[in-house]
Amino acid sequence: MTESLLTSTLTLGGGCFWCLEALFKRLPGVISVQPGYAGGKSTTTTYQEVCSGTSHHAEVIQITYDPKTITIEALLDYFWKFHEPTTLNRQGPDTGTQYRSIILYQNAAEQATAIDSKNAAQRHLSATIVTEIVPLIQFIPAEAYHHDYYDRNPQAPYCQSVIAPKINKAFH
């Protein structure tokens, strides 16, 4: 975890970053959620490169949170509930390696917490979890038009058909 006196960060991927951003930013204790790319081979990339598969990056979010209000364990519990961790390179209508389920840790303690969380989640699922747990080498922020996408475009067809039902299920 990158920590200041008041905040920590966690980087996760579980399908479209628009979905995860919209869900996680609604949790108490989450200060900000930034969409971006991680888990690939290059130190720079673009949305087009990620979508083509050439960069090998996943769409991810980087969550800045107040650990006194919400713990990493709670964030990971939400992660397992907010996406389907048993489908390889797919979340609903979105397919490709950029949509893979991935937890990117920053230190040994975060790695151990992620593994423990995955093992606990697996006990509640009949299918095998395929989520990668790998070191975070670099987080590359997504282009500005991806930030707050759902909140800026709630009537867009993708937002209506994919994101809004997830938000309704999670928070109502």
Q: Which residues are catalytic?
A: 16
Instruction: Decide: residue 3, CB within 10 A, 0-12 exposed, 13-18 middle, 19+ buried.
Output: exposed
Nearest to 9 by CA among 56, 70, 96: 70
Opening angle at CA 41, ends 35 and 43, nearest 5: 60
CA torsion through residues 28, 32, 36, 42, sign: negative
Three-class SS of 85-110: CCCCCEECCEECHHHCEEEEECCHHH
Amino acid at position 170, single letter: A
